[in-house]
């Protein structure tokens, strides 16, 4: 039950280079520091201007935790927020 509650509120926070949309740093609300560091390292260097499908594939290929679906949902929300910010 506790794990379900944590995954329902998964967030990903990123620092983005504004001109090219490259992720400079990332953090998420996974419980373990190792998991948070892994996701941060995995996301670093990707450009949100290229979309998130490549990032999703990287998570599906290399992350084996139970939060995979929650991470992907958080990435989709991140992309949505990024696209909205670019339009303003």
The domain locations on the chain are 2-80
Provide CB contacts within 8 A for 18, sequence distance 6+.
none
* Helix 33-43 / helix 53-62 crossing angle, nearest 10 deg: 140
Phi and psi angles of residue 24, each rounded to the nearest 5 degrees, phi first: -90, -35
Question: Across the chain, what does the average pLDDT equal?
Answer: 90
> Is residue 11 scored above 50 in pLDDT?
yes
For residue 18, is pLDDT > 50? yes
pTM assigned to the model:
0.87
The encoded tokens of residue 42 equal 């995995």
What average pLDDT score do residues 71-88 get?
93
User: Are 71 and 12 within 8 A, CB to CB?
Assistant: yes
pLDDT tens per residue, range 37-57: 999 999 999 999 999 999 999
Residue 2 has pLDDT above 80, yes or no: no
Alpha-carbon span 6 to 85, nearest angstrom: 27
């Amino acid at each position: 039950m506790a794990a379900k509650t944590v995954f329902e509120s998964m967030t990903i926070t990123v620092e983005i280079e504004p001109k090219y949309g490259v992720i400079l740093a990332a953090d998420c609300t996974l419980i373990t520091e190792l998991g948070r560091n892994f996701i941060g390292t995995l996301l670093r260097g990707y450009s949100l201007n290229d979309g998130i499908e490549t990032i999703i594939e990287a998570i599906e290929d290399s992350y084996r935790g139970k939060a995979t679906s929650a991470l992907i949902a958080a990435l989709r929300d991140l992309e949505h927020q990024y696209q909205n910010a670019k339009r303003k």
